[in-house]
């Protein structure tokens, strides 16, 4: 598996950046000629992961969110979304549908959406160090021009 | 983002654009303010103008279901575009019987 394209993005954990993050990632993967449904899946998963950073990783501060996107020669998109926030105490519990620690009107579906809209997802977290969410999705209809 | 209309005891909130965690609070505030003042028999959330929605939109629907139930009203979610059906069905809100 070779990486044929890659981009890095970092920005402040302000909620106004949620649309910027998902639009930028979807613009980057457009070169793979995704279907509208695939693009919508990717945008939604990125929006969920970035919102988690804003709401949960940096609850009382503004931190930095780091996004790395790689495209492989087998048309796989690997999206890594990282924060250096408070971390997740219990990843298994956090990934249960409808579980939320937020008092705000959150549905508790963030990880369920990421799992269902992407091919797979890995979560690594350390308390007071931060969290990294890695999501992958392979596009099948594509013929990527590597130039 | 949201336009509201009240007639025949039905409050219709037509939503526009993208619904995420950043946009949801202002939409919620406007709909809840009108619901409280007008106490409609039915609240219709019209999604025909929504181009994108993440799980914040699901939270918005569930929250309005609770709000309108508190005053004895009913919620209907109408005109859901095809591209939002995946997240709507994942959320299980169709089991509330609000989808029309």
Per DSSP, the three-state class of A53 is helix
**B54 neighbourhood in chain A, CB within 8 Å:** 44, 47-48, 51, 113
Q: Which structural domains are found in chain B, ordered by start?
A: 2-96 (3.30.750.24)
Q: Which structural domains are found in chain A, ordered by start?
A: 3-138 (3.30.565.10)
DSSP collapsed to 3 states, A43-112: HHHHHHHHHHHHHHHCCCCCCEEEEEEEEECCCEEEEEEEECCCCCCCHHHHCCCCCCCCCCCCCCCHHH
Helices (H) and strands (E) in chain A, counts: 4, 5
* Residue ranges, chain A, pLDDT below 50: none
Per DSSP, the three-state class of A103 is coil
User: pLDDT per residue over B3-13, tens digit each?
Assistant: 999 999 999 99
Give me the pLDDT at residue A143, please: 61
Contact across the interface for B91 and A110, Cβ inside 8 Å: no
* Mean pLDDT of all residues in B25-50: 97
Give me the pLDDT at residue A103, please: 61
User: pLDDT per residue over B90-100, tens digit each?
Assistant: 999 988 888 88
Closest of A25, A18, A97 to residue A50, by C-alpha: A18
Percent of chain B whose pLDDT exceeds 90: 90
B90 touches A at CB < 8 Å: yes
Residues of A with CB under 8 A from a CB of B: 15-16, 18-19, 22, 36-37, 40-41, 43-44, 47-48, 51, 54-55, 105-107, 109-110, 112-113, 116-117
* Mean pLDDT of all residues in B48-67: 96
For residues A9, A12, A16, A19, the Cα torsion angle rounded to the nearest 10 degrees is 20
Per DSSP, the three-state class of A110 is helix
Query: How many Å lie between the alpha carbon of A5 and the closest alpha carbon of chain B?
Result: 27
Give me the pLDDT at residue A142, please: 64
Contact across the interface for B21 and A51, Cβ inside 8 Å: yes
């Amino acid at each position: 598996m070779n990486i044929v394209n890659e981009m890095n993005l970092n920005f402040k954990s302000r909620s106004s950046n949620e649309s910027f993050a998902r639009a930028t990632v979807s613009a980057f993967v457009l070169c793979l000629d995704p279907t509208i449904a695939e693009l919508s899946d990717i945008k939604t998963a990125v929006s969920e992961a970035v919102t988690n950073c804003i709401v949960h990783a940096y609850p009382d501060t503004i931190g930095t969110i780091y996004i790395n996107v790689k495209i492989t020669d087998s048309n796989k998109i690997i999206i890594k979304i990282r924060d250096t926030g408070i971390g997740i105490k219990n990843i298994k519990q956090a990934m249960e549908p409808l579980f939320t620690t937020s008092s705000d009107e959150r549905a508790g579906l963030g990880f369920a959406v990421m799992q269902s809209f992407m091919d797979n997802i890995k979560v690594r977290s350390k308390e007071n160090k931060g969290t990294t969410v890695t999501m992958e999705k392979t596009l099948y209809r594509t013929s990527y021009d590597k130039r | 983002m949201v336009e509201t209309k009240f007639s025949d005891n039905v409050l219709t909130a037509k939503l526009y654009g993208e619904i995420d965690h950043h946009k949801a609070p202002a939409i919620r505030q406007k709909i809840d303010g009108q619901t409280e003042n007008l106490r409609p028999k039915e609240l219709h959330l019209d999604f025909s103008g929504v181009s994108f929605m993440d799980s914040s939109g699901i939270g918005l629907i569930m929250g309005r279901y609770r709000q309108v139930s508190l005053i004895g009203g009913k919620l209907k979610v109408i005109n859901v575009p095809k591209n939002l059906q995946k997240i709507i069905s994942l959320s299980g809100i169709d089991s509330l019987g609000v989808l029309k």
